[in-house]
Structure 1
């Protein structure tokens, strides 16, 4: 319980130990507890205690953005006791600043696949332009990311929303920053769909392996 950032409440030590033992014994665990019982912090402390001893990484899945935010808040507190890097991730539809910047794109209500195709095409043109070829319909956010990615500095625990705010302020691609940090993270907070959707799971595995 040395990573626990609060004074443990009733049953929390037992919950942490149960999760830790299941990880150690390679067992599955289904746990149900009332709201406010500290399930998030107990799961994070148990998993981080285990991986710190076993050189593993963690993918922590959530159903909602509010659950992502809660996990990040708890990790920021744990990071006061443990040297860790963590980031929450969201898809292009939630992080693409180019769409926000161009009204004609924003009005299209684009699907994930549409945004992925747009992103790939714009990035390709940007790379060609940076090699000296004259290109239109590029992505200035992606180009700015490439120019300064080695100079970017962030806190050890970062929410996807923080990257969007940073990207909007400095005109840098939040999606690319998100990928960059995730590749270096000890723990990634992601939506359930990134694992349970076969297409997204394959993309996720390629991007963050």
Structure 2
């Protein structure tokens, strides 16, 4: 695979990039290196997803190698000059990497609108030379393999029953997730949602809780937009955005997703129930008004007598 040097970072790309792809990748690197937000646009069919993946992962590897080299240099210099603190030698770093050398290597959160789109992104990742530790987050509805939980009619009931079984440790699939050696085995390949379910069925462990465990050690985490945009979903999945690189692919859909997240649907049953409640309230108010009227009339008659 061709290696392209951009902004001091070597990017492995599956093929010789077009000029527009090199320019796109340079802009992605500029955002990462300067720690600024970026809004990037490129015509359909120009390989934006591939450019985003390769560039971001190349930058992360470059940062990791820089930190490793700096730590080795500091250790050696510390042995030669024991009276000096190691941190003082970090001032020799170039290209503004000094601060980065003393920070944890950030995770990458890659978000798209749907899981089917994420499956395509993961397929693109498999076509590159990069093999990061990957995690894809999904709902119980997509990932649960427990027969009794799966047959529940609503997502709400699935969540309730799942939590009940987990709390009582009566779900063998959840209990098997604690098998650490198996987790390590499944952390190696690049798995999408369907792969997680297949592996769960094969090994008899819960794909939902497995994905949550893999998230802790993942280099790149794939998830739908709403997991990020909805505060409730972020808390439910334990997503911490601090110090992470967040990528919104197909970002023209973000506005609509925000609208959907802040909206809700009313069914005919909801409207009928609401009208029934209004009728009850009006009826109670009418009764109360009539009672107040009788009381006033009685008081007036009593005064006259």
Distance 2:225 2:163 in 1: 24
Distance 1:11 1:40 in 2: 14
Report the CA distance between 1:20 and its aligned residue: 0.7
User: SS of the counterpart of 2:235?
Assistant: helix
Cα distance 1:156–1:168, how it changes in 2: closer, same or farther (>3 A)?
A: closer
Report the CA distance between 1:31 and its aligned residue: 2.3
Question: Is 1:151 the equivalent of 2:182?
Answer: yes
Distance 2:192 2:131 in 1: 17
Cα distance 1:21–1:93, how it changes in 2: closer, same or farther (>3 A)?
A: same
The structure 1 segments of at least 4 consecutive aligned residues displaced by more than 6 Å after TM superposition are: none
Q: Tell me if structure 1 keeps the 8 A contact 2:25–2:52.
A: yes
Q: Which has the larger radius of gyration?
A: 2
Within a 5 Å distance, the mapping from 1:101-112 to structure 2 comes to 101-102=147-148, 105-111=149-155
Distance 2:168 2:234 in 1: 27
| Partner of residue 65 from structure 1, selected from 106, 115, 118 | 115
Within a 5 Å distance, the mapping from 1:11-160 to structure 2 comes to 11-54=20-63, 55-78=105-128, 80=129, 82-98=130-146, 101-102=147-148, 105-111=149-155, 113-126=156-169, 138-146=170-178, 148-152=179-183, 153-154=185-186, 155-160=188-193
Q: Tell me if structure 2 keeps the 8 A contact 1:160–1:178.
A: no
- How many aligned positions are there? 190
Report the CA distance between 1:198 and its aligned residue: 0.8
Report the CA distance between 1:150 and its aligned residue: 2.5
Runs (5+) with no aligned partner, structure 1: 127-137
Report the CA distance between 1:160 and its aligned residue: 2.4
Q: Tell me if structure 1 keeps the 8 A contact 2:150–2:158.
A: no
Q: Which moved more, 1:3-12 or 1:87-96?
A: 3-12
| TM-score, structure 1 normalization | 0.80
Please give the root-mean-square deviation of Cα atoms over the aligned residues, in Å: 2.3
1:156-197 alpha-carbon deviations (Å, 9 max, x no partner): 422122010111233211112211222111000111111100
Distance 2:36 2:109 in 1: 17
1:105-136 alpha-carbon deviations (Å, 9 max, x no partner): 5454322x43332222101111xxxxxxxxxx
